[in-house]
């Protein structure tokens, strides 16, 4: 051992006296592990026998052996008939190790900084419903009902595309309220809008492509595009929505992110003429429109504005919808698009192959609701 026996036992005795609420075995294990990691116990150092350690420390031999066995399982100690020794761990000690700093790649320098948020008396966060009015007792009953009916089936992974029963319900909803006729197989449930935008970006673009975003517009989409290495161009917004005609002389984008039914954050509604013109532009330039149907169902008068996707057949549009604002923050979002044409053969299934979804408990409750 590279420290004298007296110093070794003094280290352990001091730790055991000040152990607080931890067990004797746990304290002994942690003290020995820390001494090995810090280099106080060098590799190949032989430890006193468990009987001698137990007698000197006033512990049961089972307590000592339990700590030594755990350290051996984790690879810190080597135990044999000849005794117990410290395993060689290579370079040890942290005295000369400099702290490493993460430097973002240049294309990520434009990501917005985190904003510290205090708890306000009144919540004015965009996209957040009045959660204090949410019917928690009803929601709890629905969750309990789904748990009773589905049982242990909910403990595994869910369908990567989203629970089929929910996708069927969304397909009915889209047909009735948004003028979109689709099949459940064409819908993907996502864990929020950002995952939906991220999925579209992976499938429909490559690093270096151009993406148009509304200016001002949804910062989450900008962050996803920046993270994916896309070149972002901000397109101004007026009372009719995105003014893409101001960019007619620019390089054609691969992706166009827009919220035509209730522009974020200004609230403008894109006119029918401008929607049709944008669809034609996307067709002509092989672009994909990501239609964020943000807040479209909240109107002071009249019915919700039909989605752009429902205005033309074979529209180059991926539709991003949600039930967040009228149910609960973080609830299901969904994507609808023609997967057979997306990404030059890259379909939703490519995404499903590398992702796993949690159980469909809350999705099932949403369907019952």
Greatest CA span in the chain, whole angstroms? Answer: 89
Confidence class for position 211, pLDDT limits 50, 70, 90: very high
Q: Is the pLDDT of residue 342 over 60?
A: no
Task: For residues 55 and 150, state if they share a domain.
Answer: no
- Mean pLDDT (the chain) is 80
Which has the closest alpha carbon to 224: 254, 257, 252, 251? 257
The answer to whether residue 93 sits within a structural domain is no
Residue 245, token pair as written in the block: 């005609």
Task: For residues 260 and 334, state if they share a domain.
Answer: yes
- Mean pLDDT across 212-217: 94
**CATH number of the domain that residue 327 is part of:** 3.40.640.10
CA angle 220, 224, 228 (to 5 degrees): 170
Report the range of poorest mean pLDDT among 9-13, 148-152, 168-172: 148-152
Position 345 scores a pLDDT of: 45
Distance of CA 209 to the CA centre of its chain: 24
Position 338 scores a pLDDT of: 59
Position 160 scores a pLDDT of: 78
Q: Which residues does 282 contact at the CB level (< 8 Å), separation at least 6?
A: 256, 288, 289, 316, 317
Calpha distance 167→178 (Å, rounded)? 15
Beta strands 255-258 and 288-292: pairing type?
parallel
Q: Are 160 and 356 in contact (CB under 8 A)?
A: yes
Calpha distance 113→236 (Å, rounded)? 23
Query: In 10 A of CB 124, how many CB atoms?
Result: 6
Q: Count of alpha carbons within 13 Å of 222, Cβ hemisphere only?
A: 17
Report the range of poorest mean pLDDT among 64-68, 160-164, 295-299, 352-356: 352-356
Position 333 scores a pLDDT of: 63
Last residue of a domain, one of 86, 104, 122: 86
Q: Is the pLDDT of residue 276 over 50?
A: yes
- Count how many domains the chain has: 2
Rg, C-alpha atoms of the chain:
30
Distances (CA, A) of 54 to 5, 17, 48, 72, 235: 14, 15, 10, 18, 74
Task: For residues 32 and 140, state if they share a domain.
Answer: no
Domain that holds residue 268: 131-368
Beta strands 210-215 and 187-190: pairing type?
unpaired
Last residue of a domain, one of 53, 68, 86: 86
Calpha distance 254→211 (Å, rounded)? 6
Q: Is the pLDDT of residue 4 over 80?
A: no
**CATH number of the domain that residue 15 is part of:** 1.10.10.10
Q: Is the pLDDT of residue 266 over 90?
A: no
Residue 124, token pair as written in the block: 């004015």
Q: Are 258 and 242 in contact (CB under 8 A)?
A: yes
Task: For residues 221 and 160, state if they share a domain.
Answer: yes
Q: Is the pLDDT of residue 225 over 90?
A: yes
Task: Tell me if residue 201 falls in helix, strand or coil.
Answer: helix
Position 358 scores a pLDDT of: 57
Task: For residues 230 and 342, state if they share a domain.
Answer: yes
């Amino acid at each position: 051992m590279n420290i004298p026996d007296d110093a070794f036992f003094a280290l352990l005795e001091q730790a055991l006296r000040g152990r607080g609420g931890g067990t004797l075995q746990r304290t002994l294990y942690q003290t020995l592990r820390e001494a090995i990691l810090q280099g106080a116990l060098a590799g190949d150092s032989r430890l006193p026998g468990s009987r001698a350690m137990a007698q000197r420390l006033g512990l049961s031999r089972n307590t000592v052996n339990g700590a030594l066995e755990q350290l051996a399982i984790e690879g810190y100690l080597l135990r044999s008939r000849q005794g117990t020794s410290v395993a060689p761990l290579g370079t040890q000690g942290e005295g000369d190790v400099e702290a490493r700093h993460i430097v973002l790649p240049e294309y990520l320098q434009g990501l917005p900084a985190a904003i510290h948020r205090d708890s306000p008396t009144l919540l004015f966060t965009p996209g957040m419903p009045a959660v204090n009015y949410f019917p928690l007792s009803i929601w709890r009953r629905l969750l309990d009902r789904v748990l009773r009916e589905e049982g242990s089936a909910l403990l595994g992974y869910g369908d990567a595309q989203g629970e089929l029963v929910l996708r069927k319900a969304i397909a009915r909803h889209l047909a009735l309220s948004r003028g979109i006729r689709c099949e459940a197989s064409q819908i993907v449930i996502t864990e929020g809008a950002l995952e939906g935008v991220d999925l579209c970006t992976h499938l429909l673009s490559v690093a270096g492509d151009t993406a148009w975003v509304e200016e001002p517009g949804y910062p989450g989409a900008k962050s996803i595009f920046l993270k994916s290495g896309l070149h972002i161009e901000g397109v101004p917004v007026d009372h009719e929505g995105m003014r893409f005609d101001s960019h007619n002389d620019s390089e054609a984008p691969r992706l166009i992110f827009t919220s035509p039914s209730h522009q974020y954050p200004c609230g403008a509604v894109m006119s029918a003429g401008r929607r049709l013109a944008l669809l034609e532009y996307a067709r002509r330039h092989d672009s994909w429109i990501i239609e964020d149907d943000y807040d479209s169902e909240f109107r002071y008068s009249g019915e919700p504005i039909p989605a752009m996707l429902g205005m033309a057949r074979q529209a180059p549009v991926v539709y991003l919808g949600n039930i967040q604002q009228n149910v609960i923050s973080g609830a299901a979002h969904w994507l609808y698009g023609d997967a057979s044409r997306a990404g030059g053969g890259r379909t939703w299934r490519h995404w499903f192959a590398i992702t796993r979804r949690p159980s469909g408990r809350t999705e099932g409750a949403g369907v019952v609701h």
